Amino acid sequence: MITEDTKVLVDKGIMLPLMEEFYTIQGEGFYKGTAAYFIRIGGCDVGCHWCDVKESWDATMHPPTHIGKIVENAVSYSDTIVITGGEPLTWDMTILTETLKTQGCKVHIETSGAYKLTGVWDWICLSPKKMKLPTEEICAVANELKVIVYNAHDLIFAEEQAARVNENCILYLQPEWSKRDKVVPMIVDYVMKNPKWKVSLQTHKYLNIP
Ligand code: SF4
Beta bridge partners of 25: 35
The whole-number average pLDDT for the span 25-45 is 98
The whole-number average pLDDT for the span 190-203 is 98
Cβ atoms of 46 and 132 within 8 Å: the answer is: yes
CATH T-level fold of 4-207: TIM Barrel (3.20.20)
C-beta of 27 in contact with ligand 1 (< 6 A): no
Greatest Cα pair distance in the chain: 55
Tell whether 205 is in a known binding site.
no
The whole-number average pLDDT for the span 33-40 is 98
Tell whether 48 is in a known binding site.
yes
Best substitution site from 20, 46, 62, 84 to test ligand 1's pocket, by max atoms within 8 Å of Cβ? 46
The pLDDT score that the predictor gives to residue 2 is 84
* d(CA 166, ligand 1 centre) in Å: 23
The whole-number average pLDDT for the span 185-195 is 98
Cβ atoms of 18 and 62 within 8 Å: the answer is: yes
Please give the Cα distance from 56 to 19 (Å, whole number): 7
Which residue's CA is the nearest one to ligand 1's atom 3? 86
Please give the Cα distance from 24 to 149 (Å, whole number): 24
Residue 22 has pLDDT above 80, yes or no: yes
Mean pLDDT, the chain, rounded, equals 97
pTM across the whole model:
0.97
95-150 residue pLDDT tens? 999 999 999 999 999 999 999 999 999 999 999 999 999 999 999 999 999 999 99
If pLDDT is split at 50, 70 and 90, which confidence band does 183 have?
A: very high
Looking at the chain, the whole-number percentage of residues with pLDDT higher than 90 is 99
* d(CA 168, ligand 1 centre) in Å: 25
145-181 residue pLDDT tens? 999 999 999 999 999 999 999 999 999 999 999 999 9
- Return the domain boundaries, the chain: 4-207
Tell whether 177 is in a known binding site.
no
C-beta of 56 in contact with ligand 1 (< 6 A): yes
* d(CA 46, ligand 1 centre) in Å: 6
The pLDDT score that the predictor gives to residue 1 is 73
Tell whether 129 is in a known binding site.
yes
Q: Is the peptide bond before 43 cis (omega within 30 degrees of 0)?
A: no
Please give the Cα distance from 90 to 59 (Å, whole number): 10
